[in-house]
A and B are shown apart, each in its own frame.
Chain A
Amino acid sequence: MRKQVTQNLGFGLLFLCITTALFFLGTIIYFITVRGVRILSWDFLTEVPKEAMTAGGVAPAIMGTFYLTVGSIIIALPLGVACAIYLTEYSPRSFVVNIIRMSINNLAGVPSVVFGLFGLAVFVKLFGFGVSVFSGCCTLGILVLPQIISAAQEALLAVPQSYREASLALGATHWQTIRSTVLPTALPGIMTGAILSIGRVAGETAPILFTAATFYMRGFPKSIFSEVMALPYHIYALMTEGTHPEQQTQIAYGCALILLFLVLSISAAAIILRQRQRKGYE
């Protein structure tokens, strides 16, 4: 009898935990949606900011986030996939490979603001790219590299060993096997990894703080060496700079809603895709 009571109490406690977690997270999404929807309109999405950030839209910030995201994935995806191919297909289990694995894990844990410092010292100052789209893309690219590598590794490891053996038995070389058998099979998994990291990059603020972002622009960036506005940074700037906190907070709600919607729908798509794939292999 007492056992049953303890069990019910315990289960109740755990239920409380998950409801608390979901309640807090739900509250955040609820408030931002309800208050953000008020300001959202077609003009808000397509216009440039006007009247010292108190009116107009946030189109340059949306485009800036788009440029930064696409650019960093272009940099990180080939590098990450190549690294994963080496680790799963070529690597002899050696000391060197262990060191690479360690450094990937550690790179994944480095705080994002430290990536920002690195970007500032190396891309902005040392290489002279300045505060620009390009510096931002490089910094963000390095930031997501570990995530892309581990997703690609997982996808490559899920390819059944028999596929490789069949290909090699037909006389294909190692590289031909990788190119025509392993990669196409692993591609969906690699893509979901890439989509997940898009969600991550789109929301990052600290790394672009001193490498790419600017508060105010009249239009869109002219080249990859000009500064950009970006949604996450724009929220921060609206809340900490400027002289019209009332209107600025409204605009910030709008930006937060757009960002939240973008990031959550991207990661939802990737996670649902991934779940389907995992089922497929089982």
Chain B
Amino acid sequence: MDRLKEKIYKWIFTLLAFASLFFLVGITLTLFIEGLPAFQEVGFFDFILGQDWYPTYSPPDYGILPLILGTLWVTIGAVLICVPIGVGSALFINEIAGKRLKSILKPIIEILAGIPSIVYGFFGMVIVAPFIQKLLNLPVGLTAFTGSLMLGIMATPTVCSISEDALSCVPRSFREASLAVGATRWQTLTKVTFPAAASGISTSIILGMSRAVGETMTVLMVTGGAAVIPHTFFQAVRPMTSTIAAEMGEAVMGSTHYHALFGIGLILFFITFIFNIIAELISRRFRLKLGLGR
């Protein structure tokens, strides 16, 4: 009797454990089923490399190059902000702050990582955009730069928190050995601790990038939403995520527009998928390098 029960429980858990695999496959399938028609109807290269996105004109244009470039610009800007500040903060928390300060700062950063993206979007719209408009004398404040700035601030706690985890994985003996041979704390930090944690830190950067690429509400509210190929940071752009969010409500189900939005989702999915796999491979190597096992 007991044996049978044990077996049944094991099977139930096995089945439930497959749920996340099932959902991942489900999401992939859905995106393919609903997104592939766009590639067929518009043509693969016209879709990806088309320079005009006018889905509601007649005849409509479904070129998503402006959207891809919008995402690219905003992400690059965000990374330039969140990586130095985030990694620098992590180094400060791990290497300089004393035990007491660290036990305060680390949770604060983790809590701040939970601020909802809509709050960043709202703040960017009502405070930052008008400020930037006035400061730089621009016609509008809703630009790629505003988006980068908000995304950068938003991703900073994430990058900091994960980098700090990587730094605290570096064994104490590494630092002690370096200090023992007469290196200063700064030399130890730059020549020993940082290189040892470098691949863990790069994981945090990739995850931060992945977050910036996939972020929706913030960019929807602060980048201005013009689907044109950007030439400077101070003009409005329309990243991929915000295009989906803004237009899905109006797209008629089954229309080319509807499929095109799923097609954009499919491309987004692949971008973040690749980021995640790279991050995972790097972090696996990192753990092996420090002898932490899997």
Contact in complex: A113, B160 (CB < 8 Å): no
Residue from B186, B207, B221 in contact with A3 in the complex, judged by beta carbons closer than 8 Å: B186
Known: A31-B123, A122-B26, A239-B221. A24 touches B153 (CB 8 A): yes
Is A104 in contact with chain B by the CB < 8 A criterion? yes
Binds B, one of A182-190, A217-225, A265-273: A265-273
Q: Let me know if B38 is at the binding interface, CB within 8 A.
A: no
B84 contacts partner chain A, Cβ-Cβ < 8 Å: yes
Residues of B within 8 A of A110 (CB): 24, 27, 214, 269, 272-273
Q: In the assembly, what is the distance between CA of A20 and CA of B89, in Å?
A: 9
Contact of A7 with B85 at beta-carbon distance under 8 Å, contacts A18-B93, A100-B21, A120-B248 already known: no
Partner of A112, one of B26, B88, B107, B216: B216
Using a CB-CB cutoff of 8 Å, which residues 135-187 of chain B contact chain A?
A: 153, 156-157, 160, 184-187
Query: Do residues B216 and A100 form an inter-chain contact, with CB atoms below 8 A?
Result: no
Residues of A within 8 A of B91 (CB): 14, 17
- Verify if A175 is at the interface (C-beta below 8 Å from B): yes
A260 to B111 Cα, complex, angstroms: 11
Which size class do B's interface residues fall under? 35 or more
Complex Cα gap A196–B161 (Å):
15
Is residue A90 contacting chain B, with contact meaning CB distance below 8 A? yes
Q: Which residue of B lies closest to A4 (CB)?
A: B184
Minimal beta-carbon separation of A244 from chain B (angstroms): 15
Take A3-B187, A113-B245 as given contacts and tell me if A83 and B105 are in contact as well, using a CB distance cutoff of 8 Å: no
Q: Which of B103, B126, B184, B241 contacts A7 (CB 8 A)?
A: B184
Residue of A nearest to B126 (CB): A249
Evaluate contact between B17 and A111: CB separation under 8 angstroms: no
Q: Which among B103, B122, B125, B241 is the interface contact of A206 at CB below 8 angstroms?
A: B241
What residue of chain B has the Cβ atom nearest to residue A240's Cβ? B221
| A142: chain B residues within 8 A (beta carbon) | 23
**Chain A positions within 8 Å of B85 at CB level:** 17, 20-21
Query: Given the interface contacts A122-B26, A271-B107, does A105 sit within 8 Å of B280 by beta carbon?
Result: yes
Total interface residues on A, CB under 8 Å, equals: 89
> Is there contact, CB below 8 Å, between A236 and B118?
yes
Determine if A90 and B119 form an interchain contact, defined as CB atoms under 8 angstroms apart: no
Q: Which of B60-68, B260-268, B285-293 contacts A (4 or more CB under 8 A)?
A: B260-268
Asked whether B20 lies within 8 Å of A28 as measured between CB atoms, the reply is no
Considering the chains assembled together, what is the distance between the CA atoms of A99 and B24 in angstroms? 11
Q: What 1/0 mask marks residues of chain B from 87 to 112 whose CB sits below 8 Å from any chain A CB?
A: 11101110110000001010111111
Contact: B6 with A111, CB < 8 Å?
A: no
Q: List 12 A-B pairs, Cβ < 8 Å.
A: A7-B185, A7-B187, A25-B157, A86-B16, A106-B273, A107-B20, A109-B214, A111-B213, A118-B30, A203-B116, A205-B216, A235-B118
Listed in ascending order, the chain B residues whose CB lies under 8 Å from chain A are 2, 5-6, 9-10, 12-14, 16-21, 23-27, 30-31, 33-34, 84-89, 91-93, 95-96, 103, 105, 107-112, 114-123, 125-127, 153, 156-157, 160, 184-187, 189-190, 207, 210, 213-217, 220-221, 241, 244-245, 248-249, 253, 261-262, 265, 268-269, 272-273, 275-277, 279-280
| Other contacts beyond A109-B275, A236-B118: 20, CB < 8 A | A17-B85, A17-B89, A25-B156, A79-B16, A109-B210, A110-B214, A116-B245, A117-B244, A173-B2, A175-B5, A203-B117, A203-B118, A205-B118, A209-B249, A210-B249, A235-B119, A236-B221, A260-B116, A260-B119, A267-B110
Name A residues whose Cβ lies closer than 8 Å to a Cβ of B: 3-4, 6-7, 10-11, 13-18, 20-22, 24-25, 28-29, 31-32, 79, 82-83, 85-87, 89-91, 99-100, 102-118, 120-122, 125, 142, 145-146, 149, 173-175, 196, 199-200, 202-206, 209-210, 232-233, 235-236, 239-240, 249, 252-253, 256, 259-260, 263-264, 267-268, 271-272, 275
